Structure 1
Amino acid sequence: MTAKSLGQLLSPVQLGAYKLRNRMVMAPLTRSRAGDGDAPTPLIAQYYQQRASAGLIITEASQISPQGKGYPRTPGIHSAAQIAGWRQVTDAVHAEGGRIFLQIWHVGRLSHPSVQRNEALPVAPSALRADGEIFTGEGLMSLVTPRALELEEIAGVVADFRKAAENAKLAGFDGVEIHAANGYLIDQFLRDGTNVRTDAYGGSIQNRARFLKEVVEAVVPVFGADRVGVRLSPIFNGFSMSDSDPAATFGYAAELLGQYGLAYLHVMQLGEGEFDFKALRQRFNGTYIANGGYDAGRAESAVDAGDTDLVSFGTLFLANPDLVNRFRAGSPLNDADRTTFYQGEERGFTDYPAINAA
């Protein structure tokens, strides 16, 4: 498709505090290339700079604390070295006129003692083990049964989210995205398949959404609501994730989030089961970013139909640093090398060619 047929997708849009030059968002993609101390490196800065033509970049998820870490070589945002590393990234993206938000996360039970301090157990809302294996420094290992967070510990995790946002601001980010999707800690609190607590954070939908509410209310004052987004994944079923009534759970969460005047709601629309994403968007009643295997044609159609305001692309941006220009010109796309998604340093990271070098 050409620029003429992609009139909406390539058009400017207001997203919170910012006027973006197009409606194409680079989705967060874990790449496992962080350096010593889980700090971003100049190579990571180059990677994001190459993709700065996106209307908005949302970075790979970055742990808010050592406890929040799930995988080797994922970057953090809780140390001075990590802040300095991320400052290289934001400076590089801003030099190209781009906008960049940091995705902040706590993985909850999707961790392993081998990446935790003192080989501690991962934490979660409830002591329920997810099926499957996880990458560690020693290779694939089975997930373990997490420790349920004590009631008095939860406020500390919320405070870690706020501190992460403060550090992101010091690092020069334009805003942050709160990762409440894909089976990680906030998602674990939201769903009744992973949250069987009997206190104020479990039971009813309102109680299960309390942790999300408190995290949002901790982060918003740091940047302002119009520089904060949230990501949800209502039908994501990986890592043994389930909910007895996703429409009710995530409809309530979207309506709750809509009360804050956030920059956007970013929704991963992939998974198993039927779900009314149009109804979810209406309940949020704000700027909506759709994610889920879109190509240029599907993305343009979705924006044109009013189903979404922006579209985020993951693998396509990974393999095509100049994806915006390729869509504009109707050029062929690079294929992604999946063997380098989580390893390879510059290979499969910064060496994908642009159109003029292809």
Structure 2
Amino acid sequence: MLEKLKGVEKRFLELQNLLSSPEIVSDRNAFQQFSKEHAELGNIVSVLRNYEQILADLEDSLELLKDSDPEIKELARDDVDALTEQKTGLEAELKQLLLPRDPNDDKNVIIEIRAGTGGEEAGLFAGDLFRMYNRYAENRNWKVEAMSHHATGVGGFKEVIAMIHGKGAYSRFKFESGTHRVQRVPTTETQGRIHTSAVTVAVLPEAEDVELQIDSSELKIDVFRATGPGGQSVNTTDSAVRITHLPTNLVVTCQDEKSQLKNKNKAMKVLRARLLDSMIREQDEKRSQERKNQIGTGDRSGRIRTYNFPQGRVTDHRVGLTLYKLEEILQGNIDEIIDELTTFYQARALQNAESVEAA
């Protein structure tokens, strides 16, 4: 571990020199990239230097244990116990910091929620999930930007896509990707029977221009008149936009805005995110299953969570966590679940890293 840490410190010092270079300062993309890496490594180096100081202090205290004065030996013994505890804690923290970091963690996130099995009830629950994520974002002072939606006639959604702007948004939402199951009595049920419905959630990191270049010649852009309930511009102007990415046949449609340009910009954001997500999944196929499990790829195949209304409970099946706080969770208080998932996957990654080192 110390060898890795010394390599990190060496790279940190190299970046300091690079960031003072006029050539790098004048290159906005390079400066931004190196500044981000410097800041990330700075956290590790700060803990490393604290750890090295603890080691030095511990060595001094161990020397004092050899002193002939009983009082000095007693004080030294107390120091050794305290410093040894700090040393153990810092070693655990450094191991955690050395784990490979998801490069998308700090990004804005695009969330796509779609009603699955269950008809109107699934659409209503899609609306419940959308409100839950909205409230969670608001609690963190993150901005929610609606990208596209297709409403049902009873207040739910067939599909709703939104972007959440906030540093670290992807790191908090990435474990929401998958199938969310709801068990409750629908309002239309006359005999009080519990129905089971499903909603799929896809979580995509926002793709930045510098990391994903799209050739305009690979795009087919169609404009058409918006459809839907009411509105001054509905069926009167060609404001709706449909973009087809020809190499992959990915299609994105946006008609929420009155402006054709705004719809086009939103559609491009969604397209970029989907293309980046596709790239991530291709990369994951070449990596370990552990890595695939840790990031949100929009895979809808696995049931990840059940919301049981009669019992007021929420169960996350990946970590076996059950909370009898359904109403609180639907109000956006989902940190307890996210923290449990983060800890679980970090512990698994640390265990795998230690196994690799031991081998």
TM-score normalised by L of structure 2? 0.26
Q: As a proportion of its length, which structure holds more helix?
A: 2
Q: Which has the higher strand share?
A: 2
| Structure of greater Rg | 2
Q: Which has the higher contact order (CA 8 A, sep 6+)?
A: 1
